[in-house]
Structure 1
Amino acid sequence: MTVERLRFDGWIAGVGTASGTRLVVGYWPRSPFGAFSDVMIQHPDGERILLAPTRRIAEFVSATYRFERIDVLPVSVTADGPEWRVHAGPLRLWLRTGRRSALGLLLTAVPAPLARSPYWAALCDVPARLMPGVRTRGSAGSGRREWYGARDHRPVREAGVVLDGTDLGGLAPLSPPVEFGFGSAPRGPSLVRVTTTVELAATARRARPVRPDMPPAGR
């Protein structure tokens, strides 16, 4: 039996809007797929949408999380100090972060190897559960396991979102928690640096297929 672990190092931004739509942006400079960004959207009626830059990434993400709709289109994230801008088809998102929080100061001291450890994620999961919907480890789709190692935290102070030409209103908490996977982004709008590890389901080494014209073994 073999187990494969895929690691993604980057940032996750989570923001709510006055309209009730919540968004989670992943910005991944280092990943098994190269550098990419994606966006997960959940509307007040519960509909979950994935915006992914390639079909390959869309297939991987949708096998790990749950969505009612998947759109493959260019997704770009640009950061200029505290200002971040996201362009993804019909979506335009702008946000401004505040200074690193007290939690962020503590997280920056976490060594990278420790942030990748499932044992560290298990330890952090205890205080994380004090925040509604937040988890640092759990079961994902397709028999996968996943854990997060946070390495920085900055609050989001301002944001603006336009989707399909409609302004979604001012910044608001992510409430209720988003439901893409086993856990949600924090309720308070934030930008978190994370190392995310996805452990694929164990698979047995496959035997070489037998062609119909091959004689049975032993003959």
Structure 2
Amino acid sequence: MRWRFDGWIAGLGTTSGTRIVLGHWPRSPLGPFSDVMAERPDGHRLLLAPSGEVAAFVGATYRFDEVRTVPVRVTTGVEWRVDAGPLRLSFRPGRRGPLGLLLRLVPPPLARTPAWIAAIDHPARLVLPGVRTRGSAGNGRREWYGAQDLRPITRARATWAGTDLGGLADVTPPVRFGFGSVPSRPALVRVTTTVSAGAGPVPA
């Protein structure tokens, strides 16, 4: 069995130490949804999911200390806005650099295939330390991240339960939800994520 999620992942840090990973999935087996993974300065890992179904799937694929089901609303555009439980976040993507331009040259059907993703895993680790494009997830699942674009996040503001989280910062230390982290520099990545159950054949 396999599941494919098509959308965007935004990863950023704050000067207060909270690191945030937003998944925005217009196309997925669970329907359109967005979710937020947050790691607090003390290492507490929290999932903010919009439904019990999303909470169950994501919670079984990644590692969290706490899972909350809350409305998650995302507005995209020149500036992205996120309203999710205790989190209020806005950020602005900048112009893509050389890596983003290079990713856009790969035909999307190829960029989404696990064979291609496996082939670029080691180069990706060299270019973006902490990032892995494939690996083992929870409950015997495997994952492949097919990146198709990357833009830096140049500006962000976030509050948690009304408290300002400070300015934009690198994702340091790396987040610990799965087998790899998002890029250390704040970024918005266009991505197709494939999740496979069991140890059967690699999905095409």
Give the TM-score band, short-chain normalised: over 0.9
Aligned counterparts of 2:176 and 2:120: Cα–Cα separation in 1: 20
**Amino acid paired to 1:17:** T
**Amino acid paired to 1:48:** R
**Which of 68, 77, 83 is matched with 1:71 structurally?**
68
Deviations 1:71-130 (A, max 9, x none): 00100110122x100000111000011111211111112222212211111122111212
Matched with 2:110 is 114
Matched with 1:147 is 144
Matched with 1:85 is 81
Aligned counterparts of 1:202 and 1:151: Cα–Cα separation in 2: 26
Matched with 1:160 is 157
Q: Does 1:193 align with 2:187?
A: no
Matched with 2:40 is 43
Contiguous gaps of at least 5 residues in structure 1: 204-219
Q: Does 1:128 align with 2:124?
A: yes
Alpha-carbon distance, 1:202 to partner = 5.3
Q: How many residues align?
A: 199
**Which of 95, 98, 103 is matched with 2:94 structurally?**
98
Contiguous gaps of at least 5 residues in structure 2: none
Q: Does 1:7 align with 2:4?
A: yes
TM-score by length of 1: 0.89
Q: 1:132·1:177 contact (CA, 8 Å) conserved in 2?
A: no
Q: Does 1:17 align with 2:19?
A: no
Work out which of the two has the higher radius of gyration on C-alpha atoms and give 1 or 2: 1
**Which of 58, 63, 88 is matched with 1:61 structurally?**
58
Q: Aligned residues: percent identity?
A: 65
Structure 1 runs (4+) greater than 3 angstroms displaced: none
Aligned counterparts of 1:153 and 1:181: Cα–Cα separation in 2: 20
**Amino acid paired to 2:81:** R
Alpha-carbon distance, 1:5 to partner = 1.2
